[in-house]
Structure 1
């Protein structure tokens, strides 16, 4: 399952980056659903690079149209999950969405402050495969820039942040209970980067998605309870001050045996994000 408008944080600080639209099925039980259950609220000032994708035309005004998360990687560039801009999530082809925007600088989706900026261009990762979930990246160009100080750098190939056991944090506005109780304010949850073997066991490709270590990253809570979920798709996974993943897909939310699968930033097109 992909974690688009079906994503949120689970656990004491759990968040997911799934979209807030209807859950997308990539086949079998591994459909995009992310939930930040039991997560803790955080202020956008502490993580200004976290943004929400919005379309009131497609998703109504209850949550300011939020359906996925994203990450500001340059003043006018936002990374998100490719499946977030698919017709499966949006309900119509992307070209028919009249009001695709990014909400930045706002912890509470319907609160005051921050900016709502129209998206002027969308590029899909040429290597994205919707059937396997590999290469789940899309790059959005904003119609006007945000402050350069609000961006975050990605961890390049070989960075220590990708090492199993590294503590990380996932951010989003997704489901907080797994039962459709979406967060109105930004939440964050602590997880760990897990060995690739943990996701290879959980997602061997017999049903649904197949875990591929070259383009995917495994992260979660070995004991369960912390995870991303519906409504969190496309949101950031951050470790050592660097962006290492985007909420992509998984089976269920906060389950010890089914870790979250993230799009691995070191596998994104090289020119899409500054790395260090």
Structure 2
């Protein structure tokens, strides 16, 4: 099995993020990305195989930012996140770990959430300071099980930015369901990071397909109780580095957070997502 990788811009990749010059190549249901004819795969069109979307049409997608750690060229973006309450954003737990940030997230004085901004080089939207972070007690860095964290914001975002999370048993989790993954991540799999928000059309895959792609090895691999996977068996549409913590949305609801995978958009190597119904605490 090829070595699974997280979909985060690590500190070792800061230089690549700063040098990104490639152009980035919705709301769901009533305001979601259309999921009709699949876009052809292309080396320069990602999330992988994605298309441009506007933050105004997907206001629950946010960028996690630290200019101190990742530079200012892309507004310090290093991971994605999802608004689940006016002052709460969920992301991948590994995004807030020392392996990504080089320090404990509590030590970052400039950690912010950027909301309502399509193009990272613009000044639109808002940047909201982070006042606290909760890491799921189920998170296991060795297997990426329970890969979810919840961030508390200093000031609330509008209620219109909030997306509902699907609960266990929701039809949105059924294999074959059309979904979309959103982010500002790598557009080629080789360090060409995006400036503008994109989304890729994928399908939720059967657990058996995911288990074949990522068999259990030394306690790792695909764990259906806390993970789901999505993509295209032929490849070409996927999340990539820099997209970690971003949303997988189906039937108007949040069903997953970008977590890990083998490569980006490769055949028979779908993206693996945190199953939010299994890990996300219920919101009041």
Give the shorter-chain TM-score range.
0.7 to 0.9
- Distance between the aligned counterparts of 1:269 and 1:259, measured in 2? 22
For residue 30 of structure 1, what is the aligned residue in structure 2?
none
From 108, 122, 127, the equivalent of 1:111 is: 122
1:270 counterpart SS class: coil
Q: Does 1:195 align with 2:199?
A: no
**Which residue is equivalent to 1:63?**
74
**CA deviation map 1:58-87 (0-9, x unaligned):** 000011000000000000000000000000
- 1:2 aligned to 2:13? no
* Aligned counterpart for 2:243 among listed residues 218, 223, 232: 232
Q: Alpha-carbon deviation of 1:110?
A: 1.5
Do the aligned partners of 1:13 and 1:189 also contact (CA within 8 Å) in 2?
no
Offset, 1:255: 1.0
Normalising by structure 2, what TM-score? 0.85
> Structure 1 residues 61 and 188 mapped into 2: Cα distance closer, same or farther (>3 Å)?
same
CA shift at 1:208, angstroms?
A: 9.1
Alignment of 1:15-34 (within 5 A): none
Instruction: Say which one has the larger Rg.
Output: 2
CA contact (8 A) 1:58 1:90 kept: yes
1:2 CA displacement: 0.9
Higher relative contact order (CA 8 A, sep 6+): 1
1:36 to 27, 47, 61: 47
Q: Distance in 2 between matches of 1:75 and 1:4?
A: 25
Q: Which runs of 5+ in 2 are unaligned?
A: 14-23, 26-37
Q: Any conservation in 1 of the 2:106–2:132 contact (CA below 8 Å)?
A: no
Aligned to 2:181, the other structure's residue is in SS state: strand
4+ long deviations beyond 6 Å? none
Moved more, 132-141 or 201-210: 201-210
Does the CA-based 8 Å contact 1:12-1:225 persist in structure 2?
A: no
CA distance in 1, matches of 2:185, 2:89: 19
Equivalents in 2 of 1:55, 1:121: separation in Å? 15
Number of positions where the alignment pairs a residue of Structure 1 with one of Structure 2:
253
Cα RMSD for the two superposed structures: 2.1
Residue 211 (str. 1) matches residue 222 (str. 2): yes
Once the two structures are TM-superposed, the CA of residue 193 in structure 1 deviates from its matched residue by: 0.1
Q: Equivalent residue for 2:234?
A: 223
- Alignment partner of 2:59 out of 38, 44, 48: 48
